[in-house]
Amino acid sequence: MISPFDHSPWDFWDRADPADHTAQRALQTDLMRAHPGWRFDDRCFVSDHSSVDNDDLTLGARTYVAAGAYLTGSLHAGSDCSINPYTVLRGRIVLGDGVRIGAHTSILGFNHTMSDPDLPVFRQPLTSRGIRVGDDVWIGSHVVILDGVTVGSHSVIAAGAVVTKDVPNGAIVAGNPARFLKWRIAPADPLPERIEEFGKRARASALAILERSWDASADLFTDRPGQATTVRAQCDAIEIADLLLGTAPPQLPAAEQVRRLRSWQDAETGAVAPLGKPHPDLNNPDVAYHVECVGYALDLLGSQFAHPVPALSGGTAAEVTAFLDGLPWESEAWTAGHWVDAVGTSLYWSRQRGDARDPAFAETLLGWLVSRADADTGVWGGGDLLQRVNGFYRASRGTFAQFGIPIPYPRAVVDTVLVHAEDETLFASAAQNACNVLDVAHPLWLARDAGHRAAEVTALARTLLGQAMDHWVDGEGFAFHPGSDGAAPGLQGTEMWLAIVWYLADLAGLSDRLGYRPRGIHQPEPAASLA
């Protein structure tokens, strides 16, 4: 017969009859006799209507197992733990003190393999990394915690959550998959001081970084030692010097750097070819990027292009529509966004110079983007999330961000970017590159005023920020892809990661600790208004 204490055992030792106490002690003695490795501390309770079939079992003082619970594998539970009705604990599990587990929850410290497609899953071997839960943790009803997870002390897991990743100490998480909601107990925050120290180290390294990439024989910069000189390297050097030193690179007088940059612009097309090429190819993606990097480098040096800037898409509203329609949005949204960035930036330089443009050009460009944005995702085009998110960054940087215009669907953008950022193949620390992280940080920053999922955005920004600063090398800067084999710091990686650090720090409310703020191609303020 089932008694009320089988399902509600928390006050068994205070309210049950002495005879029931005697029976419970006898049950535990029998269990420990049958299983020499099992141990029960004082005032434990194990319902004889539970299924306890562990290889190894320890229950701390005042820990109970209610009716319907199903336990297998290795379980070590501390004191004051509750394993409530119909809870399933299987595999290798360690619970700290004061872990309260709601009914119908499954904590599964093992998993099936499925590497052999010709063998049924149930015949393939199991793996077990185990699950560890800290002290003072509340796990709600109908929660699922999967193998390999560590749940930090003082955390709360909301009812129905599916936990696939570690839960920090003091965090409250919810959802499927479980996501951070807020802090129950906020941890001591070392990040502000770490950011401040990083800013100091970066400024102290600036001269060495520039000198390391200076090719004295060519009087030009390379991205890193041993590489060829490029247009981009000159621009990256100017951006880094302005950001960290507040001056032009000291290797050449600023006036000479201006003269060179302006001399590289082709008078006929208005574009800048790669070094050593006599004429720019307007279909070359590098030429499209030169519209941005050379223009902003000149701007930082107090100058501008010498000749009218190419429209790239044509000069009229009809031509820009045809150009946008012809971009590979469905197959290569990243490439399409790259060209939109260049078109928007060419519009900016034309307006700065006072060059003639079709008055409807800007409205057509922005109108096309607004009308073609997907309301469900906030982004453009098809393909995988990497293509669409990175394409959104490029297209929005050169248009909405550059001209201070709100993006069409900020809440949808946040949702899309947060899903994308869960991809460990791209965003685990060792897998990161500067493009992928910048293309997450900037869209989240653009959408920040919507306040959508703000706690999750902040948590992601803090995580990525800490990892970004880990990539820094004193005196050399950042590698573009820090975790790849043979990756070496260079000007491109340094310029991009410094901007990434600022955007992530600003999302975390800590950018004032850095001591620098981007002014060039990654400046947070709109460059101009279309009004």
Q: pLDDT value at position 1?
A: 67
Q: Within 10 Å of residue 72's Cβ, how many Cβ atoms?
A: 18
Tokens coding 270: 């208005």
Closest CA to 372 of 427, 345, 409: 409
**CB-based burial label for 78 (10 Å; 0-12, 13-18, 19+):** buried
Residues 6+ apart with CB under 8 A from 78: 60, 63, 95, 96, 97, 98, 99, 135
- CA torsion, ordered 364, 446, 522, 298, to nearest 10 deg: 30
CA end-to-end distance (rounded Å), the chain: 80
Q: Which residue type occupies 279?
A: H
Which spans in 179-316 are helix H?
191-212, 231-245, 254-263, 285-300
Residues 6+ apart with CB under 8 A from 174: 157, 158, 160, 161, 181
Tell whether the torsion through CA atoms of 269, 275, 276 and 282 is positive or negative.
negative
Beta bridge partners of 77: 59, 95
Regions of the chain where pLDDT drops below 70: 1
- CA torsion, ordered 426, 428, 430, 432, to nearest 10 deg: 40
Closest CA to 380 of 421, 412, 349: 412
**CB-based burial label for 436 (10 Å; 0-12, 13-18, 19+):** buried
Looking at residue 11, the DSSP 8-state letter turns out to be: G
Beta bridge partners of 144: 106, 162
Which spans in 8-52 are helix H?
12-15, 18-34
Judge contact between 102 and 84, C-beta under 8 A: yes
Tokens coding 139: 């796990």
**CB-based burial label for 165 (10 Å; 0-12, 13-18, 19+):** middle
**pTM for this model (two decimals):** 0.72
Closest CA to 134 of 179, 82, 99: 99
> Over 398-449, what HEC string results?
HHHHHHCCCCCCHHHHHHHHHHHCCCHHHHCHHHCCHHHHHHHHHHHHHCHH
What is d(CA 531, CA 526) in angstroms, rounded to the nearest whole number? 12
- Cβ-count burial 213-243 (b if 16+ within 10 Å, e if not): bbbeeeebbbbbeeeebbbbbbbbbbbbbbb
Distances (CA, A) of 69 to 108, 206, 215, 314: 13, 61, 71, 70
Is 271 strand, coil or helix? Answer: coil
Give φ, ψ of 271 to 5 degrees. Answer: -95, 170
What is d(CA 142, CA 158) in angstroms, rounded to the nearest whole number? 9
Judge contact between 498 and 240, C-beta under 8 A: yes
Is 460 strand, coil or helix? Answer: helix
- Domains along the chain with CATH numbers: 4-150 (2.160.10.10)
Beta bridge partners of 489: 479
Tokens coding 259: 């003269």
Q: pLDDT value at position 189?
A: 85
Is 248 strand, coil or helix? Answer: coil
DSSP 494-509: HHHHHHHHHHHHHHTT
